[in-house]
């Protein structure tokens, strides 16, 4: 009799182990490590570094400085950008972190978890809302070009959550990035400031 029970016990143990495994990672809810890894992959393949990571100029052009991963525009003394006109209406700095165009001048934001200058204080909800709506922090002014939020807004919630999760794990870098500057007043009716 006892011998007959053994296979049943093994089956029961196996079933409960399977249940335990499922319980640890229910469908649609991956393990935290896997979520961060997915986020890292998405950040690396969705061009976030192209605009948000400072660069060093190499012989073939700008190269990512990954010691300052996603720290955004680093302030240096720059002359005012050329006027936006003609066949070259958009200008960028060499690091591809400052952009001038018909919308004014925009600066790639610090995406590190630094509390004061990065997105350390942003909730997951704020992050997703910003990307989905194209509004600063999901609620205020429009997010300016060339931030391709229209592209990323098509990502799934799961992917945006993964990106957010990864952004929480990179080193926090204190680097204040400027607010955008409006375009030079066109035909200014009255001088206000």
55 binds ligand HEC (CB under 6 A): no
* Site map 137..176 versus ligand HEC, x via CB under 6 A: x-----xx-xxx---x----------x-------------
Count, residues near ligand HEC per rule CB under 6 A: 23
- Output the smallest distance, CB 163 to ligand HEC, in A: 5
Q: Is the Cβ of residue 148 or residue 183 nearer to ligand HEC in the bound state? A: 148
- Output the smallest distance, CB 113 to ligand HEC, in A: 12
* Site map 108..127 versus ligand HEC, x via CB under 6 A: xx-x----------------
128 binds ligand HEC (CB under 6 A): no
- Output the smallest distance, CB 7 to ligand HEC, in A: 52
Q: Cα(75)–Cα(108) distance, rounded to whole angstroms?
A: 11
**Is the distance from CB of 101 to CB of 91 less than 8 angstroms?**
yes
Q: How many CA atoms lie within 13 A of 27 on its CB side?
A: 0
> How buried is residue 117: exposed, middle or buried, by Cβ count under 10 Å (0-12/13-18/19+)?
middle
Selected binder of ligand HEC within 5, 47, 90, 185 (CB under 6 A): 47
Query: 3-state secondary structure string, 97-164?
Result: CEEEECCEEEECCCCCCCCCCCCCCCCHHHHHHHHHHCEHHHCCCECCCCCCHHHHCCCCHHHHHHHH
**Is the distance from CB of 69 to CB of 63 less than 8 angstroms?**
no
- Output the smallest distance, CB 185 to ligand HEC, in A: 19
Q: Cα(106)–Cα(117) distance, rounded to whole angstroms?
A: 16
- Which stretches of the chain bind ligand HEC, using CB under 6 A? 43, 46-48, 50-52, 99, 106, 108-109, 111, 130, 136-137, 143-144, 146-148, 152, 163, 180
């Amino acid at each position: 009799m006892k011998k007959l029970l053994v296979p049943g016990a093994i089956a029961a143990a196996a079933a409960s182990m399977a249940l335990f495994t499922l319980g640890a990672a229910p469908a649609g809810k991956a393990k935290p490590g896997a979520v961060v890894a997915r986020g890292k992959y998405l950040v690396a393949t969705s061009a976030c570094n192209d605009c948000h990571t400072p660069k060093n100029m190499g012989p073939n052009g700008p190269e990512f400085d990954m010691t300052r991963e996603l720290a955004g525009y680093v302030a240096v003394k720059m002359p005012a950008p050329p006027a936006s006109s003609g066949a070259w209406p958009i200008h960028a700095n060499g690091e591809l972190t400052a952009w001038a165009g018909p919308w004014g001048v925009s600066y790639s934001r610090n995406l590190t978890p630094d509390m004061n200058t990065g997105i350390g204080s942003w909730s997951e909800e704020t992050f997703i809302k910003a990307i989905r709506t194209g509004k600063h922090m999901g609620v205020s002014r429009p997010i300016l070009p060339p931030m391709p939020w229209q592209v990323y807004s098509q990502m799934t919630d799961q992917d945006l959550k993964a990106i957010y999760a990864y952004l929480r794990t990179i080193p926090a870098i204190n680097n204040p990035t400027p607010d955008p500057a409006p375009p030079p007043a066109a035909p200014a009716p009255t001088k206000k400031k």
